[in-house]
A = this chain, B = another copy of it.
Amino acid sequence: MTSPHDTPPPPTEDLGLVDGLAQLSFLVQSALAEIAGQYDLSVVQTRMLGILRDREPTMNQLGHHLGLDKSSITGLVDRAQRRGLVTRTPSTVDRRSFQVSITDAGRQLVEQVAAQFAERIERCVEPLPATDRKRLSRMATRIVTADAHDHGIDLRTDPR
């Protein structure tokens, strides 16, 4: 296991919680953007495909999941559909609306991105001892969960 640089990073003074989390979020987002980009996907397209892995929402519901206006969803789905990553199926119960579904190609693509992303994040986190990694996982979960709770959002379950 040879790292890009062999000399260990010099001990840095603590960035503080706010700067630390901000910079960490940029690091994670950059990694995601870079990896997604290798498959000609944007972060938003990737998020959408991720959502569609275990849901078949209407355009409207998809907009809520992504926090985007319905007019933005139209274009987003258009472009993904043009690439054969998702499909629109007319709803059987409401003739105004569509069910958005991921295709096999789309699923395969997002799985690849997810796998490579996981690899990258695991690597970023290697400098931490295993105990800390476990702690970090718990803390991130706690923060994210509390926030979702504050906003009345169901997080990981599959409410379709």
Q: List A residues at the B interface (Cβ < 8 Å).
A: 3-5, 9, 12-18, 20-30, 32, 47, 67, 117-118, 121-122, 124-125, 127-128, 132-133, 135-152, 155-156
Contact = CB atoms under 8 A, between A and B. Distances in A.
B21 A24 contact: yes
A144 B20 contact: yes
A50 to B, nearest CB: 9
Contacts of A138: 14
Contacts of A25: 24-25, 28-29, 32
Nearest to A137: B17
B132 A18 contact: no
A147 B28 CA distance: 11
